[in-house]
Structure 1
């Protein structure tokens, strides 16, 4: 995992002398204030910390159930006594932190079109400072909106939908629904028309909350397919009149409803306030494996989940600032923001297009959201962290020899010190400070979820951003809660032990060759149990077979993921039932494993491995990294645009050779490595419908898009 560079022996010696002198002079303060010290970990070296017991089987059986060491007697399900519904969580926070900044939105100063060299036009923005609502103001806004919805005719226990980008108004609307016991149906803002219509019709909503942009570009196109819809509430202030909509549908502004709700005659709460077992959210999945399913999540489910997550975040409190940019319709982001609200943190809003100074919508020379907000906490899917890693590595390759050598020395030195449990204040200040500023410079914790994070990327984030990465595992069906690694455990490739709200069992999967009796580690399908396990799928009995209740009354969910439990109680995800394909010769190939390994290659921005059981080899669709592809083409004297290169047979062969070597170096088996590939010049984004909002591959859609290429690569054409 070390960076490689031809190092001048004299420079190497000089570096180590400087570091040794600094270490001797700074030993005492470094020892006392180390960010990764023995006092934090309870043990010194990385190897010792990785072996410290984190969970254990409460029955002694290798199949489990496994519980966190601090929860072996009972699972924990609430943050504060008596705070048992989500409206009470927010009420508690607004009473405790009334004047504290709660939700922040950057002011839009200017938006302009920027023409690119290829003739395309991109929207660029210049943004100002964050404008904040305090906890008291946010609570008041939510209460007024709740009363306005009730005055409009919305009834308790009747579903209401939200189809909106991540922003402060999303949270205000959600809290309003929790207050009045309106089950909130959440839909990804990137879902296609049929999926949106399916969710709205299945839940029989009459009211939907959305933004002006989504109304005009997506929702408006399917209104005639949703006959029950009566009210559309737009969170933007302008315009105030909305002509041209089908008869029976009225469009309102959020501010207008808040004004309605502020009137004394509309200010009383409904008689039916939520109880813990009431449905808080019907969360539609991203639809990565078919039609989105609505997961029914109760108030008590979400509170149990955020209780487990909060226990793994040390010193969480009102000094923290969280940056919200992932989809709030995803359980990871919703849970993370609820955790922050419960502890008085600030939440500043962003988007993937405005996150950093180099983001696509930020005008050159102006500041991205992380630079202005300087968050201390951030959640990220591996796709985003992989991009950061590749961008920094590309910039490092462009440095002069001296700078590149110094960076490599510092990186490898810090890696060694981290393994011993020591901090490196000199390297952090002189070498990694500039890299840290990419995310604002104050990040103290990154939470990773949604997909496996590669060891290379995790190590990079540990070293260059000078903070731990809490890698977690959970599903919508478990409120995003399952496991999160301890912040002082820097071991890679694992997702930590069970949270205090949940427990884990392993179920033998004989067909795949995984059993709890396997050595050295028990293996099997992961089952998650606890108060965070949700109520099942909405109007979908066929899929509810994945849920069951045991003899003690505890709910369990069968995840379909394959894991192994290490001797310290940590879980490692090693496979997935649906990703496992048996080739004609009998070898099993884990497509997810192949993709995770090959995405570490700098030439690959994204990859989808594919295998047909009637064939003897794997193929792949690859989105190449444009910069690296052009550089590689130049080396081989191949000319043309990005699209020309992707369609050039000689270039495809060159790329295949490079990624095959990378795969062999990463110890993939020969039969696991794609034998043929197709290069795609167009990136896969949620807008293309080929990946979810969490950047998970939509295999069925990818298969349909590249069907002709599949037939060609398998010899059919």
Structure 2
């Protein structure tokens, strides 16, 4: 992506000359002293290669070509041993940080809506030793309340320090932890709790009142509710067979009976039953052993250079998602501090932060962060929107610096002067000290990845993995500044491509082998809880005893051993005339247009064209309406046929549409005023589209656009 330089040609020429002169004077000493040559060598090296010349042969990292890695520390084959090892190494180091709430107030918006705003103080930290003791006492208390080893216990809670303390307690006492997203609806929560037959659940006061309380009659085996932030006061409107406890009271009980009921886990024991976010229907519980998770975090830790006790990670994504859980376990295994946040308090501009006060990233100043593409796309669009309001000179300087840095980093060079003079304000949005930003959960567009690389002045890597592989599969190396790829296989696993004839993908394709991605290794999980049929469908064991998972994603391997995700089997639709359309490809191509906040492409096999549902950017739509002299609120504009046609014209004539075949471009669209959030049930917690739910939600519009109504 090039940014247009909107500046006086003479001034532009002078600036180009001075930048050229600066580069000439500083290049040689910088190149010799900065390690650029070594970074270039690492970026260009072969990162993975096939075990043999057979097209079906798996690719394996060159760093683990002889054997797959499966343990972080010698003798630490279960998660409780890993945490104890880290506690012994980093006893008094800050482990878990929580921000103090100084005040809360209601703020009335111009449209009459009331938003709750908070002013937050400093982070208060538990040391590794304090966190270990808190987890040990909590596990002991749960055992005293009747929780048995190898019997499931559920956690239904927002991301916070108490979540990870509860998880470590369960790992210590061999209680398989059932994780449920805080945004799940009642039927999905009841399904997970009933299927796993839990008697104890850990939750928060808010989730108990808003969601859990309503479905208690559907969970007859439940006996104990432990609140991470509430009192033990029993309310009369709970069923008689249920007792409510506070986390503090359970820890106090455990302190009195420390270690009396402890039963340490084995490597093959289930550590977590993680319910997927259910993008294709009812959530499935993935059984993950201690060995699986340790293998996965071993691979991840190896791919992040110099990971250690000087790092601080900001945790705000759902801990019930494998990306966040794995990231935090990696950090805690290496002595990092983990400071907690939420999407509503992450930055100074976040929705719950009172204007003029600091968001969590500004206060914490993290060095490590994980994000999903949806969040990174929002940051990209917000920054570019602000650039659009700059004066011509400011915009021109920003564009000049952006394009200059893009050329430099594509060659493996850094730009310290541009970073300090131009991009420091953007960098400060996330605290100013980020050294690694990792994207996962869905493919990240090349434009957004390049933008984040440039403006946040740190490597932005993509990772690829699934719940069924403990989130581990690939991560791009930090010195690899290519875009659109997800990196080479981690040292804990190997990847092979299986022919998919229907889609026309073959592992013998030239120049790049293509096919369905299969991941194998010790990080591949045990299967789906109480679902043998689906387990046999998606998992298999080869002649060497290694487990493999069929991902349903289509990938291609590049000559350096890096993988690129190019399609998804479930996203492929055959149109009436026989053309195949990849819905994900259409969405990826159009999503970064300024007018588009979110998009879902849809096609019926008995129809000849694609349609689309678009959540438009409010500011851009209002600007477009003003140009077209169409009056009305944002909601009314979304229902205006003239605006639908105008947005469709912008989409069709955009450079992004030129990357698509004519039959792939949506022929009709529906503008949607309501944003798609996990709370609406139309996207997962990782903001992946729930196509089935979206189809049901907009069924009338689908029929209208296809001429049925």
TM-score of the superposition, structure 1-length normalised?
Answer: 0.97
Aligned to 1:39: 38
Alpha-carbon spacing, 1:259–1:581, altered in 2? closer, same or farther (3 Å): same
Q: C-alpha separation between the residues in 1 aligned to 2:495 and 2:71?
A: 19
Residues 597, 663 of structure 1: 8 Å contact kept? no
Residue of structure 2 aligned with 1:285, choices 264, 276, 280? 276
Q: C-alpha separation between the residues in 1 aligned to 2:552 and 2:653?
A: 31
Q: Residue deviations 1:202-260, cap 9 Å, x none?
A: 00000000000000000001000111000000000446444421110000000000011
Aligned to 1:333: 324
Q: C-alpha separation between the residues in 2 aligned to 1:663 and 1:623?
A: 20
Aligned residues: 708
State the shift of 1:665 in Å.
4.7
Q: C-alpha separation between the residues in 2 aligned to 1:473 and 1:107?
A: 35
Secondary structure at the counterpart of residue 283 of structure 1: strand
Please say if 1:16 is aligned against 2:16. Answer: yes
Please say if 1:157 is aligned against 2:150. Answer: yes
Aligned to 1:607: 599
Q: C-alpha separation between the residues in 1 aligned to 2:353 and 2:666?
A: 37
Q: How does 1:100-499 map to 2 (within 5 A)?
A: 100-238=93-231, 240-263=233-256, 266-270=257-261, 272-499=263-490
Aligned to 1:540: 531
Q: C-alpha separation between the residues in 2 aligned to 1:33 and 1:691?
A: 48
Alpha-carbon spacing, 1:149–1:89, altered in 2? closer, same or farther (3 Å): same
Alpha-carbon spacing, 1:584–1:440, altered in 2? closer, same or farther (3 Å): same
Q: Residue deviations 1:80-105, cap 9 Å, x none?
A: 10011000010001110001000000
Secondary structure at the counterpart of residue 609 of structure 1: strand
Q: C-alpha separation between the residues in 1 aligned to 2:656 and 2:91?
A: 57
Aligned to 2:635: 643
Secondary structure at the counterpart of residue 262 of structure 1: helix
Please say if 1:83 is aligned against 2:83. Answer: no
Q: C-alpha separation between the residues in 2 aligned to 1:451 and 1:38?
A: 32
Considering only aligned residues, what root-mean-square deviation do their CA atoms show, in Å? 1.2
Aligned to 1:699: 691
Q: C-alpha separation between the residues in 2 aligned to 1:115 and 1:666?
A: 44
Q: C-alpha separation between the residues in 2 aligned to 1:192 and 1:136?
A: 37
Residues 107, 114 of structure 2: 8 Å contact kept? yes
Secondary structure at the counterpart of residue 217 of structure 2: helix
Q: Please identify runs of 4+ aligned residues in structure 1 that moved more than 6 A.
A: none
Aligned to 1:681: 673
Structure 1: runs of 5+ lacking an equivalent: 44-48
Q: Residue deviations 1:278-305, cap 9 Å, x none?
A: 0000000001100000000000000000
Residues 590, 656 of structure 2: 8 Å contact kept? no
Q: C-alpha separation between the residues in 1 aligned to 2:221 and 2:658?
A: 54
Q: C-alpha separation between the residues in 1 aligned to 2:55 and 2:342?
A: 43
Residue of structure 2 aligned with 1:52, choices 41, 45, 54? 45
Q: C-alpha separation between the residues in 2 aligned to 1:141 and 1:193?
A: 31
Residues 231, 245 of structure 2: 8 Å contact kept? no
Structure 2: runs of 5+ lacking an equivalent: none
Q: C-alpha separation between the residues in 2 aligned to 1:32 and 1:243?
A: 73
State the shift of 1:439 in Å.
0.5
Q: Residue deviations 1:14-37, cap 9 Å, x none?
A: 222332343345446633564x82
Residues 180, 269 of structure 1: 8 Å contact kept? no
Q: How does 1:89-100 map to 2 (within 5 A)?
A: 89-100=82-93
Q: Residue deviations 1:393-436, cap 9 Å, x none?
A: 00000011100000000000000111121111110000000000
Secondary structure at the counterpart of residue 218 of structure 1: helix
State the shift of 1:567 in Å.
1.1
Q: How does 1:574-653 map to 2 (within 5 A)?
A: 574-653=566-645
Q: Residue deviations 1:27-61, cap 9 Å, x none?
A: 46633564x82223425xxxxx3x52110000122
Secondary structure at the counterpart of residue 558 of structure 1: strand
Residues 63, 522 of structure 1: 8 Å contact kept? no
Residues 598, 663 of structure 1: 8 Å contact kept? no
Q: C-alpha separation between the residues in 2 aligned to 1:403 and 1:30?
A: 28
Q: Which of 413-422 and 161-170 deviates more?
A: 413-422
Alpha-carbon spacing, 1:539–1:617, altered in 2? closer, same or farther (3 Å): same
